[in-house]
Amino acid sequence: MKTHFNILFVISVLMLISCEVDVTNDLTIETTAPKLIIEGGLERNLKNPLGGQRIRLTATTNFLDNNGQTPLVEDAVVTVSDGITSYEFTYAGNGFYENTELTPEVNGEYTLEIVWNEEAYQAVETLNEVPLFDAIYSVFEEETLVTDEGYFAKFDSTDPAGIANFYYHRIARNGEFIVVPDPGNSDVLVISDEFFDGQQRVGVNPNDEIIFEIGDEAIVQQLGISEAYYDYLYEVFVQSSAGGFSFVGNPPPESIRGNVKNLTNSANRPLGFFYAADVEEATLIITE
């Protein structure tokens, strides 16, 4: 189990005697040449089959650039192979590349290949099966120090014994999947079964930042992911909530390493991750 209590420790003590000032406009920070960003992967969803598989390619900008313009990569060649067939992903706008023929399978090994700017990129990922929900329900909870008062969507699920499982939780409110940068994300949104192998988990809150009102529709997802993607997401959630807060960062903030290699020029390392996941999904109308 990964936890990140130390940040909470320090932040809560510091808030009492410290002060924070926004210095965004006082700083000039440098930017490296744009790097390729891979966002997306393959999802096997039997409950709510997807229309197609999508991968998004973009590029880095200056960190303090807030003009809302994400640099899109529109001229890449993207293929995914299952070892037998190679599926071409065609550009569908806004940086997305799509394929409707590929049907991900449990234990399938998938290789992503991208050619962009005369450089070749590659990533390999295996799809792991996810257990089903035993139950899904809504619960009202009082305010605590880290959560607000309101209705939450929760589920029960039984972890398969003897296999290392890694989970990623996603939740949608009235059709919109939501995530907020919160220090709790790295404990709540991803979890390994290290301490509950083979046990039933009861009352799992997939995201304790997302509050519902009576009548809201919740879509709850539990994804079975690889250990490498779990490690990656853990770092994503830690960094996005701590914001490279180097006061508590030891080691100092680091670029998060993904699983995509640049085969042509390894120094021009891409960012992001190509994942494959099995998705368990349930829809719930929030009631009293």
**Candidate list 43, 125, 187, 281; residue touching another protein; CB under 8 A:** 187
Output 13 or 92, the one with its CB closest to another protein. 13
Nearer to another protein, 134 or 254 (CB): 254
Burial of 13 (0-12, 13-18, 19+ CB in 10 A): exposed
Chain residues 37-66 in contact with another protein, contact rule CB under 8 A = 37, 39, 58-66
Alpha carbons 192 and 199: distance in angstroms, whole number: 12
What are the backbone dihedrals phi and psi of residue 221, each rounded to the nearest 5 degrees, phi first? -125, 140
Find the binder of another protein among 50, 72, 172, 179 (CB under 8 A): 179
Of these, 45, 81, 201, 216, which contacts another protein (CB under 8 A)? 201
User: By C-alpha distance, which of 138, 148, 40 is closest to 95?
Assistant: 40
Interface with another protein by CB under 8 A: which range of 22-30, 85-93, 130-138, 214-222? 22-30
Measuring CA to CA, how many Å separate 68 from each of 44, 87, 168, 240, 258?
A: 32, 32, 28, 18, 24
Stretch near another protein under the rule CB under 8 A, chosen from 85-93, 107-115, 191-199, 276-284: 191-199
CB distance 190 to 230 below 8 Å: yes
Residue pair 39/272 in contact by the 8 Å Cβ criterion: yes
> 79, 113 in Cβ contact below 8 A?
yes
Residue count, binding to another protein (CB under 8 A): 99
Whole-angstrom Cα distance, residue 225 to residue 186? Answer: 15
Q: How far is the CB of 190 from another protein (least distance, A)?
A: 10
Please state the closest distance from residue 57 (CB atom) to another protein, in A.
11
Residues in 212-271 at the binding interface with another protein, rule: CB under 8 A: 231, 233-237, 239-259, 261-263, 266, 269, 271
Q: Is residue 1 near another protein by the rule CB under 8 A? A: yes
